[in-house]
Structure 1
Amino acid sequence: MARRARVERVTGETRVLVDLDLDARELRGVSVSTGVPFLDHMVETLAYYAGWGLEARVEEAKRVDDHHVAEDLALALGEAVARAVASGGYRVARFGHAIVPMDEVLVLAAVDYSGRPGAWVDLPFTREEVGGLATENIPHFVWSLASASAMTVHVRALQGGNNHHLAEAAFKALGMALRQALAPSAAVVSTKGVILPPGAGARGGAGEE
């Protein structure tokens, strides 16, 4: 069964279209267009290392700054991940992790697809923006992605340095961790025998063990 999802998110600030294939069988390649060059590069990097087929477009209803572009894309992408995982009956490996070096930088990412949304991101940026993307929106992108897909994410720099390298290593590591965590499994990986649907953990459910 193809694990695919198409999501359209429309707000007063943006219109987002995301077409996602977790197993890259149907979509060919990765294409992201947001009007923010570095965000395009980072999300394309994430999808490539996650092994996804991805087409994503963001159109702004009115230009404010890059915050809504990054946030709304992450929310739509997270919803697409949740729908695609649900289409496969939540049978995923669940856990994934990666440590990625990029020259002087070293970043760790870990994922638990459990129904408990949350993100803990520690990336010591020293610049306010890279390629038109405010560096404060990089942790916010990760948080929004985790929230909308109902997964736990940790991203932490073990060694900092060049801000471009830091961001790129983070998205590569997160992509690799997602590839592991969302890989198809023969059964639901939980001692309870069930993974809560997206949002259930946020509503006070016990989550998974």
Structure 2
Amino acid sequence: MKRVAELERKTKETQIRACLCIDGDGRCEVTTGIGFFDHMLTLMCVHGRLDLTVTAEGDIQVDYHHTVEDVGLVLGQALSQALGERKGICRYGYAVIPMDDALAKVAVDLSNRPYLYVRAPSPMPRQNDFDLSLAKEFLRALAYKAGMNLHVEIAYGDNWHHMIEAVFKGLGRALRQAAGLDEGVVGVPSSKGAL
């Protein structure tokens, strides 16, 4: 049985509808009005083998912040719902992704204890309206609603696009590992007996 969640969120700033299957094939249909963000979510899904449908309408005439953050909130909540009681999951995932000049490392623990840590080169180059601060807002919202401990390091890079792309690809791969089912795990993977 595939693990799936479908959610809708409406505020005065955004309207978001999403369906996430964590046991998918990497099929992705994303429309947020932010082209680069759509591209990054697609990469996350392809490399994580997540099936995702997202439609988002937001106040992007103001800026991208509300839409990016709220998509993260919805996807995090969907991920948590799709994981259910988290029985039998591998729990941990890790990926090191090279993308031309850039290298990113992503570590995930689906512990139900949310935390985000991001380390990146400073100053981080900016090449369009979607910058590292927006990527962090998405990651923070995703991690906190999913109950995920998420650590991201952009070790180095010259091209902003490549650095962010490596992060989203790594996130997909790490999630695929962590959410994967381990036949040897009975119940939840914790010495406490609960996540």
User: What TM-score does the superposition give when structure 1 sets the normalisation length?
Assistant: 0.86
What's the counterpart of residue 14 of structure 2?
Answer: 14
Q: State the shift of 1:48 in Å.
A: 1.2
What's the counterpart of residue 145 of structure 1?
Answer: 142
What's the counterpart of residue 34 of structure 1?
Answer: 32
Alpha-carbon contact 2:106-2:152 (below 8 Å) kept: yes
5+ residue gaps, structure 2, are none
How far apart in 2 are the matches of 1:176 and 1:155?
Answer: 13
Q: State the shift of 1:61 in Å.
A: 5.6
What's the counterpart of residue 96 of structure 2?
Answer: 99
Counting matched residue pairs gives: 191
How far apart in 2 are the matches of 1:8 and 1:43?
Answer: 18
Aligned pairs for 1:44-123 (under 5 A) are 44-60=42-58, 63-86=61-84, 89-123=86-120
Secondary structure (helix, strand or coil) at the match of 2:111 reads coil
Shift of the 82–134 alpha-carbon distance from structure 1 to 2, 3 Å rule, reads: same
1:14 maps to a residue whose letter is: T
Q: State the shift of 1:24 in Å.
A: 1.1
Alpha-carbon contact 1:107-1:157 (below 8 Å) kept: yes
Q: State the shift of 1:49 in Å.
A: 1.0
Shift of the 151–68 alpha-carbon distance from structure 1 to 2, 3 Å rule, reads: same
Alpha-carbon contact 2:69-2:137 (below 8 Å) kept: yes
1:15 maps to a residue whose letter is: Q
How far apart in 2 are the matches of 1:105 and 1:67?
Answer: 25
What's the counterpart of residue 177 of structure 1?
Answer: 174
Q: State the shift of 1:42 in Å.
A: 0.4
How far apart in 2 are the matches of 1:163 and 1:62?
Answer: 21
Q: Percent identity?
A: 37
How far apart in 1 are the matches of 2:59 and 2:12?
Answer: 7
- Give a deviation string over 1:75-102, Cα, whole Å, max 9, x none: 000000000000x643310000010011
Secondary structure (helix, strand or coil) at the match of 1:176 reads helix
CA RMSD of aligned residues (A): 1.7
5+ residue gaps, structure 1, are 196-209
1:190 maps to a residue whose letter is: S
What's the counterpart of residue 191 of structure 1?
Answer: 191
Shift of the 85–179 alpha-carbon distance from structure 1 to 2, 3 Å rule, reads: same
How far apart in 2 are the matches of 1:104 and 1:62?
Answer: 31
How far apart in 1 are the matches of 2:108 and 2:89?
Answer: 12
How far apart in 2 are the matches of 1:146 and 1:83?
Answer: 13
Q: State the shift of 1:135 in Å.
A: 2.8
